[in-house]
Structure 1
């Protein structure tokens, strides 16, 4: 069975249901302002299916409005593309001052880096949501950005293939093994890229599966930097490849896989030192450095100053 979590507002007291739904939406996609006439006793059910870096979430929920403002984008931008296949109900969407309406079996898209507003109709919504990090889409970013917001249908053509894949996948995840998740994720990103190309009415240049695997591995590393056990062996096992093949993949990158992990950890720690007040040893531990002395040496080697000196100069 695939890795799957379940959310049901019925498990919570009425007053906590809508805030909990808002928190789930923020964790899946990005922080949003949510409003609903049903907020006092909000009814929502969702399954969250992990496909290794991307998430598919079939859900039913009461009518509401989603808003993502420029202020929220400045505060936090996970750089994800969202796609929803509407199975019941309707919704109106405003993106970049353009407005459109989505009905059953329409596909709507939005981008965590751009302001939008989505208002559902009066009926309960049933949909299948998809969250894909932009780095995992196997097509040039400028093409993906142009496609987001364009009319897309899941009723026929390539869109119907995506509809069939999503409905089949979410109908019974017990038919799959956990090791199938990355493979299913690759199929999903390729289908989304094809739907985007159809919406653009032009061919899209799909990047190779080898390059897509590197992007997927880098996304996995970013999401697990806090884990001190993160190392090439763990990464290879998580992606069902040999350690030697992992090293071969990174020969075409600027750094080895171990060096890339270290750079990402140090950059994350550097940002925390510049903007936060947590003790230096806590920052080090947050980003996978078990020993504060090791963190100080690595930081000085990378930036020419000790963490304490860097924080003082940044302040």
Structure 2
């Protein structure tokens, strides 16, 4: 499993909770001056997931005001960008006589090198935070700094790629191995760079390798949205992204995949999940197969057996999926 630590104020005496949260946030990002009308009995929960030099931290916490003052910047600057994906609640920010508000699925960007004030609403908020060294955002520093404070929608475009990746990642980190941490950190860094470039309309400044990796992520998201279409083809995928089929193949080859294999594995993964879902127990196996792009049951059974070692009927009949997953025989 990835290196992950958990912090809960509820594990501490009431009088120590807010100060402990202040210290925790200061170590996670940079020293901050925090205040809250709930400080007397503060509730916060944070998971800290280390991905090499990048840190991802899902958290839920009571109403709060974060202040990064000029004095604190002078005293300590780890030169980090911070991004917050707001999943629940509301928030606002002020910096350099500017201000912005944020709603669900918006992404906020700030920098440890700038002073700012961030304030949340009266209800608890849930976020996924990202701490990334300035050096890992592959844009010129002065240009990248112009993205600070600008609201980014996580509901569409490149912002959606980042928000979907973060939400899916933090929902199940147990499937990743420690040796994958640096690779996952690179994925996050590429997506953050793409978000910055989108905000600044600076795509041409991104390194070619970042362009390519971001395009692969965008294509994979497109494929996952269209898995139920049995007519999904490389030509259709390439056309939707304004590239040639040969370019599509090269992108996936560089990622160690073939387009067809990726589509097939994603379809089988979703079908396996549905077959193991008690709520879908009455759905016929052929209907599950058709739902994920296998119109011919025999083709589905053969592909499923090849990948997982058992036919779909046996998995559903014996409930073997739980034991198989725990034993590591199902991916």
Q: Same fold (TM over 0.5)?
A: yes
Alignment of 1:146-225 (within 5 A): 146-207=146-207
Partner Cα distance (1:17, 1:208) in 2: 46
After TM superposition, give the deviation of residue 202 of structure 1 in Å: 2.9
Query: Residues 95 and 110 of structure 1 are in contact (CA less than 8 Å); yes or no, is this contact kept in structure 2?
Result: no
Partner Cα distance (2:83, 2:28) in 1: 12
- In structure 2, the residue matched to 1:21 is 21
Counterpart position of 2:113: 113
Counterpart CA distance in 2 for 1:204 and 1:113 is 25
Deviation (angstroms), 1:137: 1.6
Per-residue CA deviation, residues 174-196 of structure 1 (Å, 9 max, x unaligned), is: 11001111111111011011111
What displacement does 1:208 show? 6.7
C-alpha distance after superposition, 1:85-115 (max 9, x if no partner): 0000001100111101000000001110111
Partner of residue 281, structure 1: none
Q: Is 1:136 paired with 2:130? A: no
1:46-95 deviation line (CA, Å, top 9, x unaligned): 10000001100000000010001000111101010000000000011001
The separation in 2 between residues aligned to 1:2 and 1:138, in whole angstroms, is: 25
User: Unpaired segments of 5 or more residues in structure 1?
Assistant: 211-315
Q: Take 1:80 and 1:127, find their aligned partners in 2: how far apart are those partners?
A: 18
Structure 1 residue 209, shift from structure 2 partner: 6.2
Q: 1-side partners of 2:27 and 2:18: how far apart? A: 14
SS in 1 for 2:145: helix
Change over 3 Å in CA distance of 1:144–1:157 after alignment to 2: same
* Aligned residue-pair number: 210
Deviation at 1:148, TM superposition (A): 1.3
**How is 1:14-93 mapped onto 2 (pairs within 5 angstroms)?**
14-93=14-93
* Structure number, greater radius of gyration: 2
User: Shift in Å at residue 143 of structure 1?
Assistant: 1.9
The 4+ residue runs of structure 1 with deviation greater than 3 A are: 207-210
Counterpart of 2:6 in structure 1 is 6
**In 1, Cα distance between equivalents of 2:184 and 2:209:** 13
